[in-house]
Amino acid sequence: MKLKINGRTHEVDAEPDMPLLWVLRDLLGLKGTKFGCGKALCGACTVHFNGSATRSCQLPVSAAAEGEVVTIEGLSADGNHPVQVAWRARNVPQCGYCQSGQIMAASALLARNANPGDDEIDAAMSGNICRCGTYPRIRAALRDAARATSEARAGEGEA
Amino acid sequence: MSTLSKLSRRRFLELTGVSATGLLLGAAVSPASRAMDVLATATGERLNLFVSLRADGAVEIVAHRSEMGTGIRTSLPQVVADEMEADWSRVRVIQALGDAAYGSQNTDGSRSVRNFYATMRQMGAAARRMLEQAAADTWRAPLAECRARNHEVHHADGRRLGFGELAARAAALPLPGLDDLPLKGREDFRYIGRNVPIVDLHDMTTGNTTYGIDVALPDMVYASIERTPHLGGRIAAYDAAAARKVAGVLDVVELQGPEGPPAFNNVEGLAVIASNTWSAIKGREALAVQWRPSPHSDHDSAAYLDALQARVSGGPGRVARERGDVERALGDADQVLEASYRTPYLAHAPMEPPATLARVDGGRCEVWACTQNPQATQAAVASALGVDKAAVTVHVTLLGGGFGRKSKPDFSVEAARLAAHVGRPVQLTWTREDDVRHDYYHACSAMYFRGALDGDGRATAWLARQATPAIGATFDPAVTRLEDGWLSQTFGSVPFATPNLRIESHEAPAHVRIGWLRSVYNIPFAFGVCSFVDELAHAAGRDPAQYWQEMIGDDRHLDFAPEGFEFSNYGRAIAEYPYDTGRMKAVLRQLVANIPWGETLPEGQGWGLAVTRSFLSYVAVASKVRVDGDTLVVEELHGVIDAGTVVNPDRVHAQLEGGMVFGLSLALNGEITFADGAARQSNFHDYPVARLNQVPRVIRTHIVDSEALPAGVGEPGVPPTAPSIANAVFAATGQRIRELPLARHFDV
Ligand code: FES
Ligand code: FES
């Protein structure tokens, strides 16, 4: 089975019903995507699938083979996606475990809505649990990233 | 009394698993304190903490405590670097292996900074002194003319030498005595008290981190374990053949449970070994295990709590603390109030479930684990394998949250036993269902209070009883009641000036593994105590904030001994860390100043507050809620902490924010129930934890500026949060919440 992950094609030998999460982690050694519940309840395993935030614990590898997957490792070449930059500026992570999923969810949100309001942020991000309670900073960093994204886009428009 | 000893490079290698060259320092100090928890490892604790300096100037500082989100891998090295005058950008933090040479590495009880702040400063200062001496020797100049500053030693005449250039010479020097080493003044601090970003920040935002669940070895296999649903259960029958038919499954292994108390042992279970985690989980589902009953297999938590409740409201228990004559004061009172409270079992549910990689090879075992307590892991694994502790190496990974769950090494014992059986490295990952169903649960509790008010509304008597299963029961089933040590957490140590007071403890034999969860018994007891104070205030027709000040009374240091109470004070001497009612009242005043307390709010809205002292810190929390029909929304949370000296204020703010969110979470939704001895919850759908949409958009934290000795930070934000919310609900609606979680009463 061929999988397109972070712009590269990988050949994997997996049962078709194996969730993408375990293919990434156990077969491909991409450990940045985390396991938290296995039931689409926590968002720790969030990746981009064809650009949308997707729970990789619920996506069978056979279905994943039909599209493009981006994981935290492939979100940006240098770790400088506006969401990653904003997360660091606000010192969001505590234990850090949920943050791959948070960042993937936040970046997918900004990709489709560069300037989300508080309710849209709540709606898009409430599937991602942070047991350490970094929520206030997630909100703040997401707004910062949105601002940076909008400004960057406005800049592009002028150029 | 402190002494410094030089460590051989080999010993350094043993302790950290990395090689280092240059100056190696080991600080050895006598035991800081008696550890208060049941985990207390070796008595006569030694602390050995290390600095190394390379010829190229790179400094390596060992972090011997576990990083589970507090930022400790940054804060303690930050202290060393400051006293050493090292340039933080040239510091690399190395995680220590588990080794008794460090003294306690048990990262819980909110004590990393308070137990190691002084030692870290001495270590840094010793390194600085040796570098200054090395420069003085090089220049043949008096020591007094040589000063270390930002990774260089400067001579009064302008000459300077980099730390790296001095490494070899400094390493050859005798070690200075620690006691007469000059420490920097507060005004010269370069990093202490500053918001140094955590060392793992970049990696945590790029997925480049290694938690227990992430460690991999070339030849490893994966395990998932089906465990007895009730404590003490035994395997009766199962279908190994069906499990083996699942693609990827390699083996099915019986793991026998302990004969005695659960302690840190694995519980009885059946492990499925497979070529990947998914196959192991699927294999389990095919096992169809049947379990033999045990004395705990009829445990029903609702009936159990009812029984505890009847006991506490029915009559006196063992008296733990007594002042004056409570009965007489109740008899003479103008008004008598009584109330019963209860709180449920809770599960830790750290975002990363327990996970370990173990390799057993030729009588040696190596473990990589997300453990809060590497030495307990080492001891438990050694004992399970029947080898010497020295034959077990424990690598500490990052922890995806801990909250007390990962102080217990049961999951590493499982992995090690499986690795020994299989003969290959075994990566064991608990599913969320495993985590919720096989926790060391936070104890449920039943409480009963009676208070007397005089004609002016002053409280003249405080009677409090509780029945709560003891953590000690996990290690010794004969422990069936909380004694003063655990009662010191809020319930027995109430700071009230009421002339008559009695605290009692009732029996509550345990039927599940009881553990400690972030702030431990302060959780139920702060809920009961801080709610009942609010009840008294309202019965007296008084403003609760003002009433709290009066209940606490004069500024003073509390002395519990005359009242027959053995106050454990989180393991620290009361002379060193007094229970200071002045500081407690001050955080409350600061809190009230930070919010529009007393404002007139529309129908259905209200403010509530609570204050506690836990882990030697004083924390006050206020909540603003809105109740709309059946729906409860917490709109604001405000916290004030006096934690004494703080090393990294940003991380203290973060811990208070997180602690309040944790408290909010348990207040709104936290509840584990048992039927037929088994936990009825299994994952985040039936054991919900706080999500973004439940978290107030206004969360503010305030750190009291203080030069007092450092106190705890990781846990103290939790206890006052739930009662502040319940008190706000009362202010909003007149409805008194005496049973958690709030989801029992409202849509949350
Ligand atoms: S692991 Fe996929 S949502 Fe929790
Ligand atoms: S940072 Fe620990 S779970 Fe989110």
Q: Tell me the per-residue pLDDT of A39-66, one tens digit each, with 9 for 90 and over.
A: 999 999 999 999 999 999 999 999 999 9
Q: What is the largest CA-CA distance in chain A?
A: 50
Phi, psi at residue B655, to the nearest 5°? -70, -35
Are residues B242 and B93 part of one domain? no
Task: Label residue A136 by pLDDT band (50, 70, 90).
Answer: very high
Sort strands B335-343 and B355-361 into parallel, antiparallel or unpaired. unpaired
Are residues B320 and B281 part of one domain? no
Listed in order, strand segments (DSSP E) in B557-710 are: 605-614, 617-628, 631-642, 674-675, 678-679, 698-703
- CATH number of B545's domain: 3.30.365.10
The Cα–Cα gap between B154 and B162 comes to 9
At residue B178, the pLDDT reads 78
How many A from CA of B69 to the centre of ligand 2? Answer: 7
The Cα–Cα gap between B644 and B657 comes to 18
Per-residue pLDDT for B3 more than 60? no
Least confident range from B162-176, B329-343, B512-526, B579-593: namely: B162-176
8 A C-beta contact, residue A118 and residue A109:
no
At residue B244, the pLDDT reads 97
**Is A82-158 in the same CATH topology as A2-74?**
no
Q: Tell me the per-residue pLDDT of B149-204, one tens digit each, with 9 for 90 and over.
A: 999 999 999 999 999 999 888 888 877 887 788 999 999 999 999 999 999 999 99
Q: Quick check: is B211 in a domain?
A: no
Q: Quick check: is B434 in a domain?
A: no
**CB distance from A154 to chain B under 8 Å?**
no
Q: Quick check: is B49 in a domain?
A: yes
Least confident range from B93-102, B120-129, B305-314: namely: B93-102
Q: Quick check: is B214 in a domain?
A: no
Q: Quick check: is B319 in a domain?
A: yes
Q: Is B658 in the pocket of ligand 2 (CB under 6 A)?
A: no
At residue B27, the pLDDT reads 40
Last residue of a domain, one of B182, B206, B230: B206
Q: Quick check: is B41 in a domain?
A: yes
Are residues B480 and B409 part of one domain? no
Given CATH 1.10.150.120, say whether it is the number of domain A82-158: yes
Segments forming the whole domain that contains residue B84:
2-206
Q: Tell me the per-residue pLDDT of B273-284, one tens digit each, with 9 for 90 and over.
A: 999 999 999 999
Last residue of a domain, one of B206, B241, B273: B206
Q: Tell me the per-residue pLDDT of A70-124, one tens digit each, with 9 for 90 and over.
A: 999 999 999 999 999 999 999 999 999 999 999 999 999 999 999 999 999 999 9
Are residues B544 and B486 part of one domain? yes
Average pLDDT over residues B343-358: 98
DSSP state at residue A27: I
How many A from CA of B350 to the centre of ligand 2? Answer: 8
How many A from CA of B212 to the centre of ligand 1? Answer: 17
Phi, psi at residue B612, to the nearest 5°? -140, 160
**CB distance from A118 to chain B under 8 Å?**
yes
Distance from CA of B685 to the nearest CA of A (A): 7
Distance from CA of A155 to the nearest CA of B (A): 26
How many folded domains does chain B comprise?
A: 3
Angle CA(B541)–CA(B544)–CA(B548) in degrees, nearest 5? 120
The Cα–Cα gap between A87 and B202 comes to 9
* Whether A31 and B207 lie within 8 Å, measured CB to CB: yes
* Whether B658 and A133 lie within 8 Å, measured CB to CB: yes
Q: What is the homologous superfamily of the domain A2-74 according to CATH?
A: Beta-grasp domain (3.10.20.30)
Least confident range from A21-35, B111-125, B223-237: namely: B111-125
Domain range summary for chain A, segments of one domain joined by +: 2-74, 82-158
Q: Is A43 in the pocket of ligand 2 (CB under 6 A)?
A: no
Angle CA(B313)–CA(B317)–CA(B323) in degrees, nearest 5? 100
At residue A158, the pLDDT reads 54
Average of per-residue pLDDT values in chain B = 92
Average pLDDT over residues B333-351: 98
**Of all atoms in ligand 1, which is nearest to the CA of residue A41?**
3
Task: Label residue B563 by pLDDT band (50, 70, 90).
Answer: very high
- What chain A residue is nearest to B661 in terms of C-alpha separation? A133
At residue B690, the pLDDT reads 98
Last residue of a domain, one of B176, B206, B236: B206
At residue B30, the pLDDT reads 28
Which of A132, A134, A138, A144 is most worth mutating to test chain B (most B CB atoms within 10 A of its CB)? A132
Q: Quick check: is B69 in a domain?
A: yes
Task: Label residue B111 by pLDDT band (50, 70, 90).
Answer: confident
ipTM above 0.85, yes or no: yes
The Cα–Cα gap between B3 and B277 comes to 49
Q: Quick check: is B232 in a domain?
A: yes
Q: Can you read off the two tokens belonging to residue B471?
A: 């953590």
The three-state secondary structure class of B363 is coil
